[in-house]
Chain A
């Protein structure tokens, strides 16, 4: 994995030297509320509140206007299909300006548990429908690693480190393809096993295949509650 991150770092700096490379800085708080149901079913509600504080081009003046970008509300139903596997499907509504974007979501997750850490693989697809736009299809893969900062398991009142790396392939029309890469180093705190708070960086880079790189730096705050 080390060479990959070095490569990513090189890419980020090489893109910075070119014109038309933009950046966004903002916050991305989310709430995740889950309810376990019978027969290994679970229902999850997720809401995200995206706010932008700075935007601009590398090497040029920055604009600092605050902008409330959008609110997401998603409902996902999941079913545990094995000890480590879960399939899920759901629907998302994105409230952006006066528009409401709709998205359908399908995902398959594998979680491997090791002595001192967990490794999760998430394969997902989603289809986004916005007003007056053709449907956008995304194929996503995310790997997540979480490890306790004390002891061998993440227990109540303890901290943990969670690092995610995601690749999103976006297809829109026939000739419109984009790859987005996300790296999310987060630190989490366990109030109880069903109540966790995480915060850290949500770094996203995309459009580099089209030579107009966009980099986004979000301060992520994620609250996971299970009832």
Chain B
């Protein structure tokens, strides 16, 4: 029992030491996404989503990034995943629709592939989203009739890229012609609690 008392005392000291130490050490990027009740969503955002899609199963999220906040509607409609992002006042930012590479024009996809082949030894595409940016009226017209007037179309691609030294997950944004606009490295959440 003498040994046990010693162990318990050490345990308490260790817990206190680690906790106090960690409050000083821990610094992470501030990014938070949480479910949002439909009652909290600005009316103009709700109206737009209901005008755009007949889907009734819309999930609303509140996102806080380092650069600001946004409201996002996520839904599945006619077997496609939609993600519609709004500013906090309900004004529209963009519409993203998950798609397949076959839905991209051959020329654009060839340009995208060229870029990726120069960047990586090998790459695997995980997800493609078409991003539509424009006024609400222009986007509603486009989704109802298919006429793209005053709409900017981008391709947001999540891919696994392998170089000589590293493998990582990236988000690449291309314009309608397949020209690279921006890249981001996706940082994974800590996996210690699954691994150990």
Residue numbers of A with Cβ under 8 A of B are 29, 31-34, 44, 46-47, 49, 68, 71, 76, 78, 82-83, 86, 88, 95, 97-98, 109, 111, 113, 118, 120, 122, 144, 146, 150-158, 162, 188, 191-196, 198, 222-227
Contacts and interface: CB of A to CB of B under 8 A. Distances in A.
Nearest to A40: B166
Nearest to B160: A83
Leading 3 A-B pairs by shortest Cβ distance? A120-B194, A68-B4, A155-B32
A161 B26 CA distance: 23
21 contacts: A32-B192, A32-B193, A32-B196, A47-B14, A86-B191, A95-B7, A109-B191, A118-B191, A146-B193, A150-B34, A154-B189, A155-B33, A155-B34, A188-B193, A193-B28, A193-B189, A195-B22, A222-B193, A224-B190, A226-B192, A227-B25
Nearest to A71: B7
Central interface residue in A162, A194, A227, by most chain B CB within 10 Å: A194
Contact of B35 (A98, A150, A154): A150
Contacts of B110: none
Given A47-B14, A49-B11, A192 B192 contact: no
A194 B26 contact: yes
Contact of B14 (A31, A113, A155, A222): A31
B57 interface: no
B8 A68 contact: yes
A109 B192 contact: no
A198 B195 CA distance: 14
Nearest to A198: B193
Contact of B22 (A71, A86, A188, A227): A227
Contacts of A188: 193
B63 to A, nearest CB: 9
A152 B61 contact: yes
B28 A192 contact: yes
Contacts of B7: 49, 68, 71, 95
Interface string B3-36: 1100110010011001000100111101111110
B28 A156 contact: yes
Given A150-B35, A155-B34, A83 B193 contact: no
Contact of A83 (B15, B30, B167): B167
Contacts of A194: 26, 28, 190
Contact of A156 (B32, B194, B195): B32
B53 interface: no
Interface string B32-47: 1111000000000000
Nearest to B81: A115
Contact of B190 (A71, A95, A109, A193): A193
Contact of A162 (B25, B61, B193, B195): B193
A196 B189 CA distance: 12
A44 B192 contact: yes
Given A151-B61, A155-B34, A224-B196, 4 more contacts: A152-B61, A153-B33, A155-B33, A193-B189
Interface in B49-88: 61, 74
